[in-house]
Each structure stands twice: as structure tokens, then as C-alpha cells.
Amino acid sequence: MFKTISDPADCEVRSVIRFWNAKNVKPAEIHRQLLDIYGENVMTDGMVRKWVRQFNDGLTNVHDEARSGRPSVVNDGLVAKVNEKIRENRRLTIRMLFDEFPQISKTVLHELKCFA
């Protein structure tokens, strides 16, 4: 029995699929190999087939594509400032924090306050 690798990066699994596909291994066998190494939660057989089709159609990139949407402005320094403000006054509301840090969404502020 092989050693199981837990929590692989998506691009790692896709790279393995691309490799086995280049060696003309059938999708069902690729899926069995993935299950052996990465465990039951790796990827469904249907998703393996989808990736094989995309690689056969010429896709070479195994990394996630950039997505549209609001870019994250939250960094470690900003989180530290929020946490410091919360420690100064534990009675701050999310609205008060939002007034102080308008660049951070209320949802993220709520999460930060829960973990402060």
C-alpha cells in the first residue's frame, strides 16, 4: 500500500492527470490512481474526465485561472490594526469597525471580531 497524501493542491492533482493523460492512460485508471495516492476526497471520476478532455483539447495550464471580482485588500498589517482596535474596546460594533476600516467588508470584519 502506498502512503496517502492528504490535502493536495488542486494544481498538483491536475498535473498528475496531465502526466498520466500524456502517457495515454484512460481516465478511469487515472481516477483509480488518484484515489490510491490522495484518498477518497481527491476528485470525482467525472472531473478527471473533464480535465482529460481539456488537456486533449490543448489546455496546458494546471493552475487556477484568475477570477473576476473584488481583489482582497486585507493583509496582515490591516488585520493587526483591526485586532488592536478590538482589544482597545471590546464593545465595538461591526458598524463602528466598518466606519474605521471602510476598505474591509462587514462580513470580514465580523469574522475578524469573532477570532479576536
10-57 is a CATH 1.10.10 domain: yes
If one compares 69 and 3, the residue with the highest pLDDT of the two is 3
Q: Residue 55's pLDDT is what?
A: 96
Q: Residue 71's pLDDT is what?
A: 67
Q: Answer yes or no: pTM beyond 0.85.
A: no
Packing angle of the helix pair 10-22, 45-56 (nearest 10 deg): 60
Q: Residue 54's pLDDT is what?
A: 96
pLDDT digits (tens, 9 = 90+) for 4-58: 888 889 999 999 999 999 999 999 999 999 999 999 889 999 999 999 999 999 9
User: What are the structural domain ranges in the chain?
Assistant: 10-57, 76-115
pLDDT exceeds cutoff 80 at 116: no
Evaluate whether 92 touches 85 at the Cβ level (below 8 Å).
yes
